[in-house]
Amino acid sequence: MNATSLLVFDGLLLCSIVGLAWASLASHDERRGVILFIAFGLLLAVAWGRLLAPDVALAEAAIGAGLSGALLLAAVRKQSPGSSRTHANPDRNRSESGAKVVLQWLVTLLCAALAGTLAWALLHALSSTPHDTLPRAISDNLVASGVSNPVTAVLLNFRAYDTLLELAVLLTAVLGIFALGQATAGYQPAGPVFDGLVRWLVPVLILTAGYLLWVGAHAPGGAFQAGATLAAAGVVLRLAGRSRIGLPDGFALRIVMAAGVGVFLLVGLTLLLLGRSFLDYPPAWASALILLIETAAMLSIAATLLLAFVGGQPQSAGVTAAANRQREEISR
Amino acid sequence: MTDAMIGLVALPLTGALATLLLPRSATAVAVGTGLATTVAAGLLLFGVATQGALHYEIGGWNAGLGIALRADGLSALLLMMTSLVVLAASVYASAYFSADSTRDRFWPLWLLLWTSLNALLLSGDLFNLYVTLELLGLSAVALAALGGKRAAVAAALRYLLVGLLGSMMFLAGVSLIYAGYGTLDLAMLRRVVEPGPIAWTALALMTTGLLLKTALFPLHFWLPPAHASAPAPVSAVLSALVVKAAFYLVLRLWLDVFANVVTPVAANLLGLLGASAVLWGSWRALQAERLKLLAAYSTVAQLGYLFLFFPLLLALPPGPTRDLAAGGLVMLALTHGFAKAGLFLAIGIIQQRCGHDTIRDLDGTAQHLPATTFAIALAGVALIGLPPSGAFLGKWQLLAGAVETGQWLWLLVTATGSLLATAYIFRVLGHAFGHRPYPNQPVTVAREEWPALLLAAMAALVLGLAGAPVWKLLEIGI
Amino acid sequence: MMTTQVLYGLTACVIVALGLRGALLHASLLQRVVAINVMGAGVFMLLIAVAYRGPGLPPDPLPHALVLTGIVVAVSATALALALARRLHAEQDND
């Protein structure tokens, strides 16, 4: 594509993105707002692809739009079974008191000022020569890092400590969710069409997850994208009303939840005991260690995201099956 | 000694996993982890005192490519305070939670909170600070909502949303810094940052985000309900440590990394907000009906004092007077940490024994909970700033600095704030002392009352009497 | 200064402002959470725009890694916020 057509594409894409963001936030129907947000997320993924960030594009599509969207939609469903809730749109409600209107305009002005200041600073930053010390250091050390995908190298080697803490963030969120209550009730068992779809979709998703994990070392992919795909398989099973969604029970579940952080710590501390620095992989072992950590992380991420969707500690399979049977009897 | 830095993060994190996997022995594991972490903090403090500022490059990569951990006098002192407060609160919590399910949920989240505090205090990388801030925020919110009461959940939700807003603004600032300077390492940034649109905007964004998290007036509205409704050990840590962590970051950014970017005007703005916090917080504390609400508003006020130091530190030329003032600031922060934690733990005991924490109905608690009331009194001494508490030393430096630079407003505000603090503390103590005969046993439940007593004593006595090393340690900068 | 970077960078600023406005003004919790996510997306776009080096050249991988971390952190926070809201609604229904 030549420069002009690329510019046209960029212009259209960005207008759509901003338009979707605006529409989503201006919508006075919660469900519609969430669906527009999901579309916004998917167009963002396109934008990331356009800006040569395929790893981020995959993650945005799977986690940012997909799982976030699923969580938000499930939340809308919880609040109002049947009809979707409408909320007074701050822009449209004309019976607002004068003070509120003034407040809204003040806030809008404040946000516009923020955008302006941010843009001013950003233009200053972009007009100076780009700082290349870090990208050059990354490419110089890429061979020693054990993988050839630079983003994976940064995530799992150079800045592995960030990833360790990020896995701890995931764990914290799910523990907080556990503390708030039991999982939500499941969905109704699916009809034959959806059930048939699920029958082949889930294995495909699992295979894709394994592929993404493996290929992340030398191409776009990695533990996060793979974990999100695996979680998606579980979400699909749940939406189809199945009682078994791939999560183990009891102690095994805790092991899976803790595995990501645990394996990371284990590797790091073992290296420390062997006289090296924390998370300082010996170059000969680096790719194997990274794959090990990524596998554990993938399982943890998948379990955590799925548990977040389910909304808490899942009831045992027997209880859910009984509940489904009860619902079937009532509907007859 | 540098391995102690990794230990400070790895030990509580491992403990969190262990308590998750072994819920039946969770309490023992947690307290054991707590002791180990405290030892690591002590080793680090010793290391910094003897060897100067320490740093550790994770993964062996040079800072810039990888993430560096850094410890100097300030962070080592705060880490020691964090360890002692969390350890004491852990001992308290082992007796506080009765229901099994709450206890099982509590320990992993508690240790994750500790991990995030340590990781934040040690971090030498801007994006890593963002991740630790998020970990801190999420674990604090999850703990605050523990127990599931409606007031707690509502307050925790508001806390979460405010915290997320703050984190997003912080991240926007970090992104701008990377765009402008190509590095995220704090030590490198200190060398290359210059005044200009990038630095100003980024610092403004990061500071606003952090001010939301440290509850500086007028962004404090979320704090009183959240701290007042949380379980007692959680409130103690929230008020003493979590808000202090965000304040530490403001301090680090303003006085260290962006030192040549900040202007006196901006510092005066922070000072004015701090003054408002002192007056508003103390006034609301005086009006509070419940002990926990009083303590929460007191936190708002005490944090205001810390911000009063900013215009002073910027107006004073570098030299011994400035160092004394900086030491005063840290001493005030440390004293408040211990005092507020002790206060909240003591209030928790009262709440459990008497079934309520309404101030007016407190008659006679001094008689059947003498150790607890004594802890409140000691904590009160430190909050007012009476000698020999560390707060006295801190406020003295504040007043001395105000006189030196001719900024009389801060003098007036400090005096008024201390008077109001005296009023609200004495109001509580007045209600606590009734006319019943003295019981035989001063301490009723050891595991709950000793931590409260020790923390309050630390604030009121130890820090004040043995405070000189604080100034010496602060000379060790990054 | 590349046109693409400027274009995406300025759009990022607009999205951040939109998100912030939504977070401050909306009454519904769900829309607040969506707004904060939109604000996050704006910051991510800022980072990725800064990382872009041109149509043929490899981009700077560091901001990509940062954005990946940010996406995961955002979804964790969203999940916790929604769980808290669900618990709150359950409490209110029981009254």
Give one DSSP letter per residue of B88-135, joined into a string: HHHHHHHHH--SHHHHHHHHHHHHHHHHHHHHHHHB-BHHHHHHHHHH
Q: Is B477 left (phi over 0), alpha (psi -120 to 50) or beta?
A: beta
- C62 contact B CB<8A: yes
- Tokens 């801007």 -> residue: B126
Residues B3-21: tens digit of each pLDDT: 899 999 999 999 999 999 9
For residue B142, the chain C residues in CB contact (below 8 A) are 80
How many CB pairs lie under 8 A apart between chains A and B?
Answer: 154
Instruction: Look at B161 and C23 and tell me if their CB atoms are within 8 Å.
Output: yes
Q: Which chains neighbour C (Cβ–Cβ under 8 Å, 3 or more pairs)?
A: A, B
Contacts of C29 in chain B (CB under 8 A): 157, 161
For chain A, give every domain's residue range. Answer: 7-78, 101-129, 147-332
Mean pLDDT by 10 residues, chain B (478 residues): 90 96 91 95 93 89 88 94 95 84 88 97 96 97 89 94 96 95 93 92 96 91 91 93 95 91 90 93 92 93 92 86 88 93 92 82 73 88 87 88 86 90 88 64 72 84 80 72
| Run of H or E including A287 | helix A286-310
Q: Pick the residue from chain C with its C-alpha nearest to B170.
A: C43
Amino acid A78: pLDDT: 54
Q: Does C6 touch chain B (CB under 8 A)?
A: no
- Report chain B residues whose CB lies below 8 A from the CB of C69: 127, 131
Cβ neighbours of B261 in A, within 8 Å: none
- Tell me what percent of the residues of chain A surpass a pLDDT of 90: 64
Q: Which residues have C-beta within 8 Å of that of residue B392, sequence separation ≥ 6? A: B385, B386, B464
Nearest to C62 by CA among A158, B131, B187, A141: A158
The C-alpha atoms of residue B326 and residue A117 are separated, in whole angstroms, by 32
Q: How far is C3 from chain B (nearest CA, A)?
A: 16
Q: Please, is A15 exposed, middle or buried when counting C-beta atoms within 10 Å of its C-beta (0-12, 13-18, 19+)?
A: exposed
* Closest residue, chain C, to A311 (C-alpha): C83
| Residue ranges covered by each domain of chain B | 263-478
Residue B294 in tokens: 């009083």
**Contacting residues for B282 by C-beta, under 8 A, at least 6 apart:** B297, B298, B301, B416, B417, B420, B421, B424
Give yes or no for a contact between B91 and B216, defined as CB atoms under 8 angstroms apart: no
Q: State the best of A6, A12, A151 to mutate against chain C, taking most chain C CBs within 10 Å.
A: A151
Q: What gap in Å lies between CA A183 and CA B85, rounded to an integer?
A: 35
Contact flag C81-B127 (C-beta cutoff 8 Å): no
Name the pLDDT band for A191 (thresholds 50, 70, 90).
Answer: confident
Partner residue facing B109 (CB), from A122, A124, A172: A172
State the nearest Cα–Cα gap between C41 and chain B, in angstroms: 10
Q: Tokens at residue C81, please?
A: 């916020």
Structural contact between residues B369 and B345, judged by C-beta atoms closer than 8 angstroms: no
Q: How far is CA C26 from the centre of its chain?
A: 17
Nearest to A160 by CA among A289, A301, A270: A289
- Per-residue pLDDT reduced to its tens digit, B337-348: 999 999 999 999
Residue whose C-alpha is closest to residue B208's, from B266, B255, B142, B288: B266
- A138 with C24: Cβ contact below 8 A: no
Neighbours of chain B (3+ CB pairs under 8 A): A, C
Residue A88 is predicted with a pLDDT of: 46
Cβ within 8 Å, pair C33-A72: yes
| Residue B68 host element (H or E) | strand B68-71
In terms of Cβ atoms closer than 10 Å to its own Cβ (0-12, 13-18, 19+), residue B150 is middle
State the pLDDT at residue A245.
83
Name the residue ranges covered by the structural domains of chain C. 2-94
User: A301 and C72 in contact by Cβ < 8 A?
Assistant: yes
Scored b (16 or more CB within 10 A) or e, B179-201 reads: bbbbbbbbbbbeeebeeebbbbb
Interchain CB distance below 8 Å, A122 and B179: yes
Cβ distance of A56 and C87 shorter than 8 Å: no
pLDDT of residue B352: 85
- Restricting to A residues 176-215, those with a Cβ less than 8 Å away from any Cβ of B are 176, 178-181
B89 or A78: which leads in pLDDT: B89
Predicted pLDDT at A171: 97
CB contact under 8 A, A169 and B200: no
Residues in chain A: 332
How far away is chain B from the Cα of A280, in angstroms, using its nearest Cα? 4
- The pLDDT value given to residue B252: 94
How confident is the model over C18-36, as a mean pLDDT?
Answer: 92
Residue of A nearest to B208 (CA): A114
Q: Residue A155 and residue C60: Cβ atoms within 8 Å?
A: no
Give the CA angle between residues A74, A76, A78 to the nearest 5°: 70
Which of C66, C77, C88 lies at the smallest CB-CB distance from B134?
C77
DSSP per residue, A141-193: THHHHT-S-HHHHIIIIITHHHHHHHHHHHHHHHHHHHHH-BPPP-PPPP-HH
Distance of CA A9 to the CA centre of its chain: 26
pLDDT for the residue B434: 63
The hierarchical CATH code for the domain C2-94 is: 1.10.287
Closest Cβ opposite residue A151 in set C12, C61, C73: C61
Mutate to test the interface with B, among C26, C28, C30, C66 (most CBs of B within 10 A): C66
* CA gap A125, A127 in Å, rounded: 6
Residues in chain B within 8 Å Cβ distance of C73: 131, 134
Contacts A11 to C, Cβ<8 Å: 7
Q: Taking 90 as the threshold, does the pLDDT of residue A244 lie above it?
A: no
CB–CB of C66 and B154 under 8 A? no
Structure tokens at B33: 């982890």
The pLDDT score that the predictor gives to residue A40 is: 97
The beta-carbon neighbor of A261 closest among B17, B128, B141 is B17
CA of B476 vs chain A CAs: smallest distance (Å): 24
Cα separation, B467 vs B464, in Å, equals 5
Q: For a pLDDT cut of 90, what percent of chain C falls above it?
A: 75
> B-chain residues within 8 Å CB-CB of A139?
none
Among B150, B178, B179, select the one facing C88 at the smallest CB separation.
B150
Choosing among C16, C28, C47, which should be mutated to test the B contact, i.e. which has the most B CBs within 10 A? Answer: C47
Find all residues with CB under 8 Å of A275, minimum gap 6, and list them: none
Q: What is the pLDDT of residue A330?
A: 59
CB atoms within 10 A of CB A151: 26
Q: Which residues of B touch C31 (CB under 8 A)?
A: none
Nearest CA to A302 among A247, A264, A242, A254? A247
Q: What is the pLDDT of residue A84?
A: 42
Q: Do C70 and B138 touch (CB under 8 A)?
A: no
Q: What is the pLDDT of residue A82?
A: 42
Chain B residue closest in CA terms to A255: B21
Task: Determine the straight-line distance between the first and last CA of chain B, rounded to whole angstroms.
Answer: 16
Q: In a 3-state reduction of DSSP, which class is residue B54? A: strand
| Bond from prior residue into B218 cis (ω within 30 degrees of 0) | yes
- C-chain CB neighbours of B150 within 8 Å are 88, 91-92
| Best CA proximity match to B231, nearest among B337, B365, B135, B344 | B344
Across the interface, whether the CB atoms of C78 and A180 are under 8 A apart is answered no
Q: What is the pLDDT of residues A79-133, one digit of tens each?
A: 554 444 444 445 545 555 788 889 999 999 999 999 999 999 999 999 888 788 8
Q: Which two tokens stand for residue A63?
A: 């986690």
DSSP element (H, E) containing B70: strand B68-71
Separation of alpha carbons A187 and B386, rounded Å: 62
Query: In B439-457, which positions are buried (b, 16+ CB within 10 angstroms) versus exposed (e)?
Result: eeeeeebeebbbbbbbbbb
C-chain residues within 8 Å CB-CB of A85?
A: 28
pTM of the model: 0.94
**Residue ranges of C 10-49 with Cβ closer than 8 A to chain B:** 16, 19-20, 23, 29, 32-33, 36, 39-40, 43, 46-47
Mean pLDDT of chain A: 87
Hey, which bits of B129-274 come out as E strands? none
Residues B108 and A178: their CA atoms lie apart, in Å, by: 12
Residue type at B14?
A: T
Question: In the predicted model, is pLDDT for residue C52 greater than 70?
Answer: yes
Rounded to 5 degrees, φ, ψ at B223 are: -70, -50
